[in-house]
Structures are given as C-alpha cells and as structure tokens.
Structure 1
Amino acid sequence: MTPRNSPSILIIEDDDQLQGLYQDLFTQVGYVVTLADSAQSGLQSARDTHPDFIILDIMLPGGQNGFDVLEQLKRDPQLKSIPVLVITNLDHQRDIALTIGAVDCLVKTDITPTDIMAKIKSYLPISSPTPSSG
C-alpha cells in the first residue's frame, strides 16, 4: 500500500476504463489515487481529501460538467491552489479551461497515458522508491 505522505491525485472521470488505467498507472509510481465519477462526487472528494493534483474530465454525468467543477474549485479558498489538469474530447475547450484556471488542458485523442504522467510529474514530482538498507 502507498503511504499517505505520497502525493495524492483525484481523478474525476466517468469512464470506468480510463479510471482504471489512470489509477493503475499512477499508483504504480507511488501516487495515492482517489476516484470520482461525477461532478458532485468529485467536488466532495476534493473537499474531503484535499489532493495535491486533480485530473478533470469535462463531460460528466449528473447535470454539471467539468467546467462547473473547475469554477467551483477555483472559487473555494481551501481548494483553489490545487493544480487541475483538464482532459477533454474537444480541442476548442482548451482556452475555456485555461481561462477558468486549469494548469493545462489535454485532448484525449492526442495523448497517451505516458503524456499524462509526464504532465503530472512536471507539477507533482515523485521520487523513485529506494531499497531500504538493512
């Protein structure tokens, strides 16, 4: 199990396959991952866990989208400093996300999980585990 003092990432994504892919990838390198599948659960998780980084999908179920979540995060004094990486299907949404306060916006069709990992590591470095000397 990953220790809690490891950097934490909240993934707000309603696609189960992407959630699983991201979770596996990020936990393997040492991040603590929390998952949320809607705007409401994502905001609640952010308030409950105060993650070090958020990955946010734009298209979410339940009446609110990722832009709504991003606006609420950036208005909250406790959460506004958390870097948010927006992931979208539509290239034209990039400028909107950046204007609202995302640190970056990536288009799903143009990226690989490795691209996302590199972007996260640029904002949230993690050290490689070292063998313990006995």
Structure 2
Amino acid sequence: MASPQILVIDDDSDFREYLRIILESHGYRVRCAGNAREGAAAVESERPDLIILDAMMSYAFQGLSLVQQIRQDARLDAVPLLLVSAVLREPAHALLADVPANAIDAFLSKPIEPAIVLENVERLLRQRLHAFGRVQPVS
C-alpha cells in the first residue's frame, strides 16, 4: 500500500518546505498549496489522507473558511485536519468561534518542532486507520 499523502496548505513558502522535508524524510508523500484556492483544488483532486492547514493566510480568515468548506463536503469528512497558526495560540481562540469543534482534529502553534509535527501526524493517521480502515501509518 502507498504511504499516506499529506496536503500542506500554507501561504508561507518556507514553512511549507520545512514541513515537506520533515514529512518526506519519514516516508510520507507530500503535496503543497500556497493559498486556499490552490488548497481547495488539491483537496478535490488528490483526496489526501491528512491536511495540514494554516488558519490565517493571505487574509485573516482564509484558512478557517477552507476548514468550513472541507467539512461541508461529505466525501472529505473522514480526512483528518491539523490546523496550524503563528497568530492563534490555542484552538479555543475567539477567531475559531464559527468553526465547529469537531471540524479540527488537532491544533499546533507555530513555530513547531519536527517531533511534534510527526507525533500529531502519526496520531491522526492512526486514528483514521482505526476509524475507517483505509490508511496505513508509516512505520
């Protein structure tokens, strides 16, 4: 079985590259998108096994709008979503008030240590494997 595919959606090219290097070095396939429009197209065409999404990109709520768009699509309901932010420090922040609590599977504040990224990615993929039996975690 192919290794899990992770979609990284972030307007910071350095952060996208940082995550790509970390994830690919641990056997994951990685696709990157630099904004919500590219991310939405990649989600639709690629059907990733996990999405890492910046909460705030070109405009303040771009990432959060994409969270809602993804979760409104029943075909994407099982895709784990890891929300990251350099601005928000906790998932309960007031800016997330319009996002349903179960829409985000994990939240991390930037900067993020590689071990923390990997720990969360592996945990989310394991949870998906157990819940849906479709994704094999990378050893």
TM-score between the two structures when normalised by the length of structure 1: 0.83
Q: Distance in 2 between the 1:24 and 1:63 partners?
A: 27
Match of 1:117 in 2: 118
CA contact under 8 A between 1:10 and 1:33: conserved in structure 2?
A: yes
Task: Give the counterpart letter for 2:110 in structure 1.
Answer: K
CA contact under 8 A between 2:55 and 2:61: conserved in structure 1?
A: no
- Within 5 Å, which residues of 2 pair with 1:58-73? 58-61=55-58, 65-73=62-70
Task: Give the counterpart letter for 1:23 in structure 2.
Answer: R
Match of 2:89 in 1: 91
CA contact under 8 A between 1:98 and 1:105: conserved in structure 2?
A: no
- Within 5 Å, which residues of 2 pair with 1:32-111? 32-61=29-58, 65-89=62-86, 90-92=88-90, 94-95=91-92, 96=96, 99=101, 101-109=103-111, 111=112
CA contact under 8 A between 1:39 and 1:64: conserved in structure 2?
A: no
- 5+ long unaligned stretches in structure 2: 126-136
Deviation at 1:60, TM superposition (A): 1.3
Deviation at 1:123, TM superposition (A): 1.6
Aligned length, in residue pairs: 122
Is 1:28 equivalent to 2:25 in the alignment?
yes
User: Rg: which structure is higher?
Assistant: 1
Q: Distance in 2 between the 1:40 and 1:79 partners?
A: 16
Residue by residue, what CA displacement relative to the aligned partner does 1:84-126 show, whole Å, maximum 9, x if unpaired?
Answer: 000012125x1225626110111114x3121011110112221
TM-score between the two structures when normalised by the length of structure 2: 0.80
Q: Secondary structure at the match of 1:35?
A: strand
Runs of 4+ in 1 over 6 A off after TM superposition: none
- Provide closer, same or farther for how the CA distance between residues 91 and 63 of structure 1 changes in structure 2, counting only shifts above 3 A: closer
Q: Secondary structure at the match of 2:104?
A: coil
Q: CA RMSD in A?
A: 1.9
Q: Distance in 2 between the 1:98 and 1:91 partners?
A: 18
CA contact under 8 A between 1:39 and 1:65: conserved in structure 2?
A: yes
